[in-house]
Amino acid sequence: MEKFKYAIENKRYHTWNYYLRQKYNTKVFKVSINAGFTCPNIDGSISRGGCTYCSKEGSGDFAGNPKDDLVTQFQAMRLMMEKKWPKAKYIGYFQAFTNTYAPLEVLRDKYEVILEQDNVVGLSISTRPDCIEDDVLEYLDDLNKRTDLWVELGLQTIHDDISKRINRGHDYAIFLECVNRLRSKNINVVVHIIDGLPGEDHDMMLETAKAISKLDIQGVKIHLLHVIKDTVMARQYDKGQFDLMTKEDYVKIVCDQLEILPQEMVIHRLTGDGKKEDLVGPMWSLKKWEVLNAIDDELKRRDSWQGKYFNRKRGDRYDDENTHNPIKVFNRQYR
């Protein structure tokens, strides 16, 4: 595996842990916070009900308790982590709902109070690509000069017909425009994608990864679609309108996606999870470490790694020759 230069703990992809260790030379935790925001896809500005997969916590199922103030939420997690890693540093993670969907003065108050906490080295702000106003962008530019800032954009898929099906409320063009605006300020961008969305096949999921590989983004989160109780998607699943991915198929698509993503792109996540009591399926996703270990094993079996088929010299992110094109390799070997 001499061609892969970001190896840590025998991983064959550029882990978030590797990035943090290299930058800070100590343990760094993301502290998930629920800042009490909502979403324009919920409150009626764009739509009501949100994305069809979105839980009542706004995809912040493991964030803090919104009944507590932000400092209380942060300190509860910090005290727990400090017992094992007393010299750890922290990144405040604004996770639940849309965390730039508020007036600038509200955002400033919430972000700054976390930056004031001891040993906080950065912020990670999860939002939608249609929810960063010009004044907010200028403030993010200022934050980026003062702290380790990551803006996480929900994309999920490049396919607009699938986006409509899951009620995303924006198209791919809006996402691309937002990426360009953020990168014009040199702000690190993390893109969220979901594998297993209703209506998508393997090649469509791989096309999303191919498109991302061509963009000026610094990180990606690959999520497994998991169906949560009391969502539109749960009702659709109960009616038999789509099937859930098997563990084997998920491992294959993730490895194929990793092979065409550039090595320098940080992999912030390789699967999704939900609360056991709320999860409709797939139930195998609850064994998160088994999934991650299976991805490691598959990459090793292939003698492969992140970026193996990424080829910058050809002006693309992977080699188009039949022997190296991961789309064709998958069709030939795994179907």
> Mean pLDDT lowest for which of 56-70, 154-168, 203-217?
56-70
The pLDDT, as a whole number, for residue 325 is: 40
User: Is 245's pLDDT higher than 60?
Assistant: yes
Closest-CA residue to 282 (of 252, 253, 244, 248)? 244
Strand partners, 239: none
Ranges of each domain in the chain:
16-302
The pLDDT, as a whole number, for residue 6 is: 86
CA contacts within 13 A on the Cβ side of 245: 26
The pLDDT, as a whole number, for residue 86 is: 87
Q: What is the pLDDT of residues 114-160, one digit of tens each?
A: 999 999 999 999 999 999 999 999 999 999 999 999 999 999 999 99
Q: Name the band, by pLDDT with cuts 50, 70 and 90, for residue 239.
A: very high
In this structure, how many other beta carbons lie within 10 angstroms of the beta carbon of residue 324?
15
Pick the CATH number of 16-302 from 3.40.50.150, 3.20.20.70, 3.90.950.20, 3.40.50.880: 3.20.20.70
The pLDDT, as a whole number, for residue 10 is: 82
Q: What is the pLDDT of residues 274-283, one digit of tens each?
A: 788 999 999 9
Angle at CA of residue 282, ends 245 and 334, nearest 5°: 25
Give mean pLDDT, residues 74-83: 87
- Say what the pTM is: 0.90
Helix axes 134-146 and 104-115, enclosed angle (nearest 10) = 10
Residue count of the chain, please give it: 335
Q: What is the pLDDT of residues 11-40, one digit of tens each?
A: 999 999 999 999 999 999 999 999 999 999
265: tokens are 């792109």
Helix axes 326-333 and 247-260, enclosed angle (nearest 10) = 150
Backbone phi and psi for residue 328, each to the nearest 5 degrees, phi listed first: -70, -35
User: Is 333's pLDDT higher than 80?
Assistant: no
173: tokens are 């063009």
Give mean pLDDT, residues 49-76: 79
Per the prediction, the chain carries an average pLDDT of: 89
Instruction: Return the residue matching tokens 């191919």.
Output: 210
Evaluated on CA atoms 119, 122, 126, 132, the torsion sign reads positive
Q: Name the band, by pLDDT with cuts 50, 70 and 90, for residue 335.
A: very low
Q: Name the band, by pLDDT with cuts 50, 70 and 90, for residue 334.
A: very low
Among residues of the chain, what percentage have pLDDT more than 90? 78
> Mean pLDDT lowest for which of 74-78, 90-94, 168-172, 298-302?
74-78
User: Is 317's pLDDT higher than 90?
Assistant: no
CB contact set of 117 (below 8 Å; sequence gap of 6+): 71, 74, 75, 78, 90, 92
Q: Name the band, by pLDDT with cuts 50, 70 and 90, for residue 64.
A: low
